[in-house]
Structure 1
Amino acid sequence: MQAPTGTAATLPPQQTGIEERAAPEPPPEERLERTWWIWAMAGALFFGYSILSLSVHDRLGSRSFDLAIFVQVVRSYAGWHLPVSEVKGPDFPVLGDHFSPILALLAPLYWLWPSVKMLLVAQAALVAGSVVPLALWTRRALGAPAAAVVGVCYGLSWGLASGLESDFHEWAFALPLLTLSLTALGAGRLRAAAAWALPLLLVKEDLGLTVAAIGVVIAWQAGRGNRRTGLVTAAIGVAALGLSLLVLSSFHPGGFEGYFASHNPNTGAAAGAVQSDGGFMGSVERMTLGLITPREKVTTILYILAPTLFLALRSPLAVVLVPSVLWRLSSDYAPHWGTSYHYSLLVMPIVFVAFVDALRRRGTSGRGLYRYLAGCAAVTLLLLPHFAFWQLVKPDTWANHPRTAEAHKVMEMIPDGATVQAGHYLVPHLADRTSVSLHGWGDSRPNPEWIMVDTEVPPALQWPYNHMQQDRAVQEARARGYSVVYDKDGFILLTRTG
């Protein structure tokens, strides 16, 4: 049972079980009239997200891994063939890297707007769209003021900021699906929760475990007659994980062994890999003490739970966090442990839905409710300056950058459809109209028609070549017959003459 629209829930905890059904909804016209501000809030967040992502990209802050890869994937689908990525390797089949067929949904948008920027704007729309079901459910469960606070705090949360700053990722599709599934689960609509969860299997292979976790919660919280829905959902999630791994290994050029070797940081293929002891004892250490060491892992857990004042842990929906958090903490890949990149995108909708569910179950109302909401807002504001959304109030975000304009002028000299090798931060700007790969990457297509590098990239951002290696590679290219077309402001453009 839920409180009437616009009021805080006052039911005692024993009457707020997840198996209860929502109260009858008012007519659609009345619902729209009362909730227009939620859609306006999502629209404002979409605008801010788009500005942030496009600003990072325009200032040459986006990367070949992963934005350029996803552009090439969507270009492939738009061209009516299976996805390949030149950044991964010549005609590399991306279905041998990650199982994300949901990206094909972007192909019609790419027909209308064949630009890398389309992916960034689409991601902003998907993330902002996930605010709507969360705020609507919070409004029904706890009242309009709570919906406003929770919606804004979720929309400005640090995990979303890090993800939106870090190019485009397929996980953007998971946010609205997760939020719709978990809010349906919180409202007792078990079949709807399962139905919204199942499309997650098309987002990425590892989300099979998240779907299984949702199924476990459905089975755990449902009455005996509805437990089958949860068990079937969990079984489908596990089976889909196994099936997607078979698909991935069949598409990977190296087969089953090649796929798992390419995703094992101990092979040294991944930047940031940490060598760990293998064997049984190494696995035991990673799944015990290794879950909380080094200290960065504990910090990340605190950051994930702090915006909800740790109250999210009092909801059964917090179980859905386990797969996403466990694989990160047990990983040997150091970037998985921290708060950077896109790795915390998935956990944000889970913890905020669990937060609302915990408040609803406790029957929190009045001053008690407002204290929790104030605490959530305070933590969100405290973290805000340390993450990417703060860039929107910095003058540098809105300033004109002469080198950026110069870079685009040089890239315009490269004809459409040409084969190119370019620097890490230049590749995404060429991926929507050329066959581009990464200069200095061992698997890049050899002997391209054009080579473009930026010699003024700060040392901390140089990858895969450092300045010395890049200078040597440029000299070797000239010795092989490449001529310099442009050399100014740190940008060098070469073309093959032989």
Structure 2
Amino acid sequence: MRTIDNVVEVRRPRPAAPAPRTERPALLWWGWAAVLFLLYAAVGVRRQALIRTTGYDLGIFEQAVKAYAQLRAPVAPLRGEGFNLLGDHFHPVLAVLAPLYRLAPTPYTLLVAQAALLALAVVPLARRAHRVLGRRAAHVIAFGYGLSWGIASAVAFDFHEVCFAVPLVSFALEALALRRWRLAVALGAPLLLVKEDLGLTLAAIGGYVAWQGRRTLGLATAAAGLLGSALEFKVLMPFFSPAGTYAHAANLEPGHGSLLATLAMAPLDAVRPEVKATTLVLVFAPAALIALRSPLAWIAVPTLGWRMLSQNPFHWGTSFHYTAVLMPVVFAALTDALAPYRRAGDALARRHVRASLATTAAVTLALIPSFPLAQLVHRSTWRSTAHIAAARDLLRRIPDGATVAASNRLVPQLTARTDVVLFPTYPVHWRLYDTGEPVPPPTARWIVYDPVPAESWPYPPGYWPYPKERQEAELRKAERAYGYRIVARRDGIVLLRR
């Protein structure tokens, strides 16, 4: 009898498949914001610690915020006796910083707040890039914006009100890309409270909305932007200005004698001298010029237009803070321009996207050494000097609440605890500037003078604030004619008291 053994197959349970990784894309953009905040804050804080910041402009803005914190009008003695800073530029948004400054009355409050606002702008840029182009592209866009030369130049030049505009524009651009027209307008409207020229940017946002089909909303927004800027230029700033006029009207004067001739020559004037053409190329270079394919790039036109047609040469180049508000436009437009290639899905389109992003990263890396973020790898950024120690020792001798006339780069070291003006432009009444009347003697009890500038950037060497010969002549005059006496001198720095 044949016995057939029953074979029982025992199946071992298969190991459980690993759970799919939970993707948390929000960590991507908020992580970038945190990293950039630390980066920007490090630059601003170290510049202040190394006495590289200046009275023009950090000291001026601190005086305005300090006044807001004390529930006073934003009068900035550094601009002139009784000078309401709303007559210089229209930026009531600065009052937002008053509660923070009241808690921490120091220039570091302004510098850290600026770092946070500029870093915040990366969130909508990276978020949109992640949704449209993918994770890797989001990293490249965040990297390109965060280390762009336009943002670097703003971070390394004191504090400016434009830091509020950068995240507003960035979030508004995301809303435009999502076709959320009302949200885009709501995010753009506060630009009228940031600076007088940004009403033109709001008008550009309105023009984009109208072009995309929401004509009533778009045209109303464009009109509000244009009328808002006109009101600020023609009514509000002259009202607040002690002189009764717009303080920077000379920058807007026709360059060819008449408005008609100026408009006719505008296309040529926008690219000459060559520094203007260089700046125009560099603005879009981080996006490999591909951003110009997107209609979102038109939102950069108002800022580029007034800068290139201004009579002030400082507006033409790559220094200072003037390009910061353009960087969100460039990278939002880059994402928008690459989106159709990503949707196409074919191999050639994918290669185009990869090549474009690689070019963006490469250009950003290539430009970093030429702009101020490179300061973070310089040894001098992390080391103090005997000159800085001497300056701090002399500044400590000035009592809180004193009136002081100080060299430009010493002003931000004193603004929080003294009433400080710029040496050698002693505090005089604004009416005496253009009348030819004799300027009265200085009223500040203390003068502190430092003949050694920390660095020339962003000004040309020897430019700011006055020639050394004039400053030293004013110093001798203070001793001989106004009754000041030297009470201390260290490493070339002189402290005088009346």
Into which bin does the TM-score normalised by the smaller protein fall? 0.7 to 0.9
- SS, match of residue 287 in structure 1: helix
- SS, match of residue 78 in structure 2: coil
Q: How do residues 477-492 of structure 1 correspond to structure 2 at under 5 angstroms?
A: 477-479=478-480, 480-492=482-494
- Quick one: which of 444, 447, 454 aligns to 1:448? 444
2:183 counterpart of 1:192: yes
Larger Rg: 2
- Quick one: which of 28, 43, 56 aligns to 1:37? 28
Give the Å deviation of 1:395: 1.3
- Quick one: which of 185, 189, 195 aligns to 1:204? 195
Q: Contact 1:119 / 1:168 at 8 angstroms: preserved in 2?
A: yes
- Quick one: which of 232, 235, 241 aligns to 2:223? 235
2:364 counterpart of 1:380: yes
Output the CA distance in 2 between the equivalents of 1:443 and 1:291: 38
2:373 counterpart of 1:389: yes
Output the CA distance in 2 between the equivalents of 1:266 and 1:474: 36
Residues 93 and 266 (structure 1), Cα distance of their counterparts in 2 relative to 1, 3 Å cut: same
Instruction: Give the structure 2 partner of residue 303 of structure 1.
Output: 282
Q: How do residues 50-449 of structure 1 correspond to structure 2 at under 5 angstroms?
A: 50-222=41-213, 226-245=214-233, 246-255=235-244, 258-259=245-246, 262-265=248-251, 277-280=256-259, 283-284=262-263, 287-362=266-341, 363=343, 366-441=350-425, 444=428, 446-449=442-445
Instruction: Give the structure 2 partner of residue 25 of structure 1.
Output: none
Kindly provide the CA deviation profile for residues 229-250 of structure 1, in whole angstroms up to 9, marking residues without a partner as x. Answer: 2111111111211222211111
Q: Contact 1:95 / 1:251 at 8 angstroms: preserved in 2?
A: yes
Instruction: Give the structure 2 partner of residue 473 of structure 1.
Output: 474
- SS, match of residue 485 in structure 2: strand
What are structure 1's unaligned runs of at least 5 residues?
Answer: 1-29, 268-274
Output the CA distance in 1 between the equivalents of 2:443 and 2:206: 51
Output the CA distance in 1 between the equivalents of 2:236 and 2:171: 28
Give the Å deviation of 1:289: 1.8
Corresponding letter in the other structure for 1:358? A
Residues 285 and 452 (structure 1), Cα distance of their counterparts in 2 relative to 1, 3 Å cut: farther
- Over the matched positions of the two proteins, sequence identity in percent amounts to 42
Instruction: Give the superposed CA RMSD.
Output: 1.9
Q: Contact 2:427 / 2:443 at 8 angstroms: preserved in 1?
A: no
Give the Å deviation of 1:175: 0.8
Output the CA distance in 2 between the equivalents of 1:207 and 1:150: 24
Q: Contact 1:437 / 1:444 at 8 angstroms: preserved in 2?
A: no
Give the Å deviation of 1:277: 4.8
Q: Contact 1:419 / 1:436 at 8 angstroms: preserved in 2?
A: yes
Number of residues of Structure 1 aligned to a counterpart in Structure 2: 453
2:464 counterpart of 1:463: yes
Give the Å deviation of 1:367: 2.4
Output the CA distance in 2 between the equivalents of 1:454 and 1:263: 32
Give the Å deviation of 1:440: 2.0
Give the Å deviation of 1:415: 1.1
Give the Å deviation of 1:199: 0.9
TM-score by length of 2: 0.87
- SS, match of residue 332 in structure 1: coil
Kindly provide the CA deviation profile for residues 24-46 of structure 1, in whole angstroms up to 9, marking residues without a partner as x. Answer: xxxxxx88x33213212211111
Kindly provide the CA deviation profile for residues 386-435 of structure 1, in whole angstroms up to 9, marking residues without a partner as x. Answer: 00111111111112222112211211111111111111111111111111
Output the CA distance in 1 between the equivalents of 2:25 and 2:280: 36
Corresponding letter in the other structure for 2:478? A
Kindly provide the CA deviation profile for residues 106-156 of structure 1, in whole angstroms up to 9, marking residues without a partner as x. Answer: 001001110011100100000000001111111111111111110111100
Output the CA distance in 2 between the equivalents of 1:283 and 1:307: 31
Output the CA distance in 1 between the equivalents of 2:255 and 2:53: 30
Output the CA distance in 2 between the equivalents of 1:244 and 1:319: 23
